[in-house]
Amino acid sequence: MKRMQVTRKISNNIFSMLCISSVLFGITILSSIFYALIIHGFPALNLHFFISDTPAPDSPAGGLRNAIVGSFIITTAAVLVATPIGILAATFLSEYARGKKIASIIRFVNDVWLSAPSIIVGLFVYTVVVHPMGNYSAFAGAISLAMIACPIITRSAEDMLNLVPNELREAAIALGLPKWRVIIHIAWRASKQGILTGVLLAVARISGETAPLLFTSLNNQFWSTNLSQPIANLPVTIYQFAMSPYRNWQDLAWGGALLITVVVLFLNVLTRYFAKSGGKRS
Amino acid sequence: MGDFVFSNLTRIFAWFAFLLLLCVLFSLCVASAPSIHAFGFHFLVSDSWDPINGHFGALSAICGTLMTSVIAMLLGVPLSLGIAVFIAEISQGKISKIVRTLIDLMAGIPSIIYGMWGLLVLAPFLADHVQPFVSDAAQGIPYLEDLFGGPSLGIGIFTAGLILAIMIIPYISSTLIDMFRSVPPVLKEAAYGIGATRFEVVRKVVVPYVRKGMIGSIMLGLGRALGETMAVTFVIGNSKQLTASLFMPGTTISASIANEFNEATGLLYPASLLELGVILFVLSFLILAFARLLLLRINRKKAGAH
C-alpha cells in the first residue's frame, strides 16, 4: 500500500516537472529569438536604414527603404482586395445561410484555406498571373497575399456577425427596412470593431509572408512603385540577405527582421485590445 | 430587388473559397502536365534529380518532408501537451495568463524570422554543442549510428524538424488549452475527490474527454509542418541526396520549390517542381480536411451540451 502511494506521488511529480520544463523550453526559445533580434537588429536600425535603397554586396552604406515601401504597397493592395471579399463572404455565411448545410461546407473549405501551405498560393498565382503576363509584378504579389488574407477576414467577420444580437435585426425589420439595408446599417455597423480586428490580424499574417512573394513579386534592387513591375519587399529581401555571405547584407537582414517582428507583434497586441473592448460591449 | 442583388453578391463571394480550391488544383495540374506525362507514376518513387539531363523524381523531397514532419511531431506534440497542461491545469491566475501570452507571441512571429534565427543562432549552437556529443554517443550502436552519424554541420533534417516543432507548439497548445478548459469541472472534481493525483486526472479524465479534438489539433499541426516553407528552406541545406542520417542536409517539397523555382528553365524542370506542389497540396489538403472534420465534431458536441 505504501509503495503504491509513493510511486503515484513520484509519477505525479515527474509529470508536473515535465510540464514545467516544456514551458521553460518555450520561454527559452522565445527569449533567444528576441535576444538575437535585438542584439543584431538594433544596431542596424539607423537613419540610413530608412532612407537608402538596398546596397550592392560589401558596399558600406545602404538601407531598406525600397523594401519597406514595397512591402507597404503590396500589403495595402492585398488588404484592399481581400477585405470586401472577406466581409461579403462572411455576410452570406452569417446572414443568408446561417444554420444551412451550404454554410458549413463553405466554412469548412475556408478553414482549410486558413492553414493551407502559402507556397502553393505562390505557385498558383505564378501559373495564372505571372506566366501569362510574362513578368513578375507587385500586382501578382498583392493577389497572392490577398488570397491568404481573405479566409482570415471571412472567419473573424463571420464570428463577429454571429455575435450581433438578433433583436437588433428584428427591430430594424419591424421598421420596414429591406434585409440588405438591415445588414449594412445594423449588422455591419454593430460588428465594425470585430471586422477591423480581423483585418488587422490578416495584415499581421501577410506582412511576414515570404513564400508566395518569391515567384510573384520577386524582388528589386532599385526604387520602384510600379505595380506592373517586380517590387522590393521586406520578407524576400530578408531571405536573400540572410542567406548571403556578405556581412552588410546580413546586418540589414537582422534590421529588417527586427522591424517586421515589431510591426507584427504590435498588430497582434492591437488586435487583442480591439477584441477585448469589442467583447465587453456585446 | 436590392435584396436579390445583395444576397447573390454575397453568395458569389462566399463560393469564392470553394472555387479557388478547384482552380488551384486544376491550374497546377495543367501546369505540371509535361512532367506528369514524362514520368508518370515513376515520379513518386524515383530519387534522381538531374536538371541537366532532365530526370526528375520526387522521392527525396517527399522523404524529407515526411522525416522533418515526423521529427516535428515527435518533439512538438509532447512539448505542446506539457505547455497546455501547465496553462490549463497547473498554473493559476497571473502566471497562466503570462505564459499564455508568451505562447501566443510565438504564434505571431513570422516564419522567416524562425528561419533566420535557425540558420544564424540555432544551427551553430547545434553544430558546436549538441551534434558532436550525440554522434559520439551513438557511435557503435547499430541503426543509431547511421541515424546520428556524419559531420556536425548544424543545418540538416534534424534542425529543420526542430524548428518546425517550435513553430507548431503555439498552434497545437492553444487549441489544446481551449479543449482542456471545456472539460466540465465536475468530472475533474469527482476524480480529485476520490484522491486522484493531477497526473491521473489529466491522463484518465481530461485526455479521454477531448481525445478526438486532440487528434484534430495534432493533425492541424502536422498540416502546418508539411507545408511550412521559409523556416525549413533556411536550415535544410537543400540537398537532393537521400541519406539515413538526420544530421545531413536534405530537402523538403516546399524547400525545393522555394529554392529552385526561379532558376528552373526549360519545360520539364518547372513542371516537375509544380508537380511537387500538387503532391504537397493534395497531401496537406487531406490532412487539414481530416483535422477540421475532427475539430468540427468536437465543437458541435460542445454546442450541443449547452
Give B95-104 pLDDT, tens digit per residue.
999 999 999 8
Give how far B19 is from chain A: nearest CA, Å.
10
Which regions of chain B does DSSP assign to beta strands (E)? 49-50, 55-56
Q: Does B111 sit within 8 Å of A210, measured CB to CB?
A: yes
**CA–CA dist B245, B19 (Å, integer):** 42
B299 near A CB under 8 A:
no
Lookup: cell for A277: 473592448
Whether the pLDDT of residue B227 is over 70: the answer is yes
Using CB atoms, pick whichever of A21, A27, A119 lies closest to residue B102. Answer: A27
Q: Mean pLDDT throughout A260-268? A: 93
Residue of A nearest to B296 (CA): A108
- What chain A holds in terms of domains, given with CATH numbers, is 69-232 (1.10.3720.10)
Give how far A264 is from chain B: nearest CA, Å.
7
Q: Does A89 sit within 8 Å of B14, measured CB to CB?
A: yes
A78 Cα distance to chain centroid: 11
Rg (CA), chain B: 23
- Give B169's contacts in chain A (Cβ within 8 Å): 26
**CA–CA dist A86, A110 (Å, integer):** 10
**Phi and psi angles of residue B55, each rounded to the nearest 5 degrees, phi first:** -110, 125
pLDDT value for B299: 66
Nearest of B281, B276, B284, B282 to residue B49 by alpha carbon: B276
B77 near A CB under 8 A:
no
> Testing the interface with B: which of A39, A83, A112, A188 to mutate, by most B Cβ within 10 A?
A112
pLDDT tens across A84-117, in order? Answer: 999 999 999 998 988 888 888 999 999 999 988 9
- Give A265's contacts in chain B (Cβ within 8 Å): 105, 108-109
Nearest of A219, A41, A250, A60 to residue A52 by alpha carbon: A60
B250 in Cβ contact with B157 (< 8 Å) = yes
- A47 Cβ contact list (under 8 Å, min separation 6): none
Instruction: Look at B66-80, B112-126, B258-272 and tell me which has the smallest mean pLDDT.
Output: B258-272
pLDDT tens across B152-184, in order? Answer: 788 889 999 999 999 999 999 999 998 898 888
Alpha carbon separation from A242 to A41, A61, B237 (Å, rounded): 12, 17, 14
Give B55's strand partners. B50
Whether the pLDDT of residue A280 is over 60: the answer is no
Residue A113 CB: number of other CB atoms within 10 A?
24
Residue B151 CB: number of other CB atoms within 10 A?
13
B174 Cα distance to chain centroid: 15
Helical packing angle, B2-31 and A138-163, nearest 10° = 130
Res. B303 pLDDT band, cuts 50 70 90:
low
Give the mean pLDDT of chain A: 89
Res. A55 pLDDT band, cuts 50 70 90:
confident
B267 near A CB under 8 A:
no
Residue of B nearest to A235 (CA): B112
Alpha carbon separation from B50 to B47, B58, B60, B244, B252 (Å, rounded): 10, 11, 12, 21, 16
- Give B113's contacts in chain A (Cβ within 8 Å): 33, 37, 208, 257, 260-261
Whether the pLDDT of residue B205 is over 60: the answer is yes
> Testing the interface with B: which of A1, A102, A123 to mutate, by most B Cβ within 10 A?
A123
User: pTM here?
Assistant: 0.92
pLDDT tens across B179-189, in order? Answer: 898 888 899 89
pLDDT tens across A163-201, in order? Answer: 888 888 888 889 888 888 889 888 999 888 889 999 999
What ipTM is given for this predicted complex? 0.91
A58 in Cβ contact with A248 (< 8 Å) = yes
Nearest of A263, A248, A56 to residue B113 by alpha carbon: A263
Give how far A278 is from chain B: nearest CA, Å.
19
Long-range pairs for B2-9: beta carbons < 8 A, 24 or more residues apart: B2/A178, B2/A180, B2/A181, B3/A178, B3/A179, B3/A180, B5/A180, B6/A179, B6/A180, B6/A183, B7/A92, B7/A96, B7/A179, B7/A180, B9/A88
Whether the pLDDT of residue B131 is over 50: the answer is yes
- Give A207's contacts in chain B (Cβ within 8 Å): 110
- Give B120's contacts in chain A (Cβ within 8 Å): 36, 40, 242, 250
Instruction: Look at A14-18, B41-45, B228-232 and tell me which has the smallest mean pLDDT.
Output: B41-45
- Considering only residues 15 to 44 of chain B, which have any Cβ-Cβ distance to chain A shorter than 8 Å? 15-18, 20-21, 23-24, 27-28, 30-31
Residue located via cell numbers 513518386: B44
- A224 Cβ contact list (under 8 Å, min separation 6): A66, A70, A138, A230, A231, A232
Using CB atoms, pick whichever of B82, B197, B285 lies closest to residue A112. Answer: B285
Question: 3-class DSSP state for residue B55?
Answer: strand
B254 in Cβ contact with B223 (< 8 Å) = no
Whether the pLDDT of residue A234 is over 80: the answer is yes
Give how far A229 is from chain B: nearest CA, Å.
16
Lookup: cell for B46: 524515383
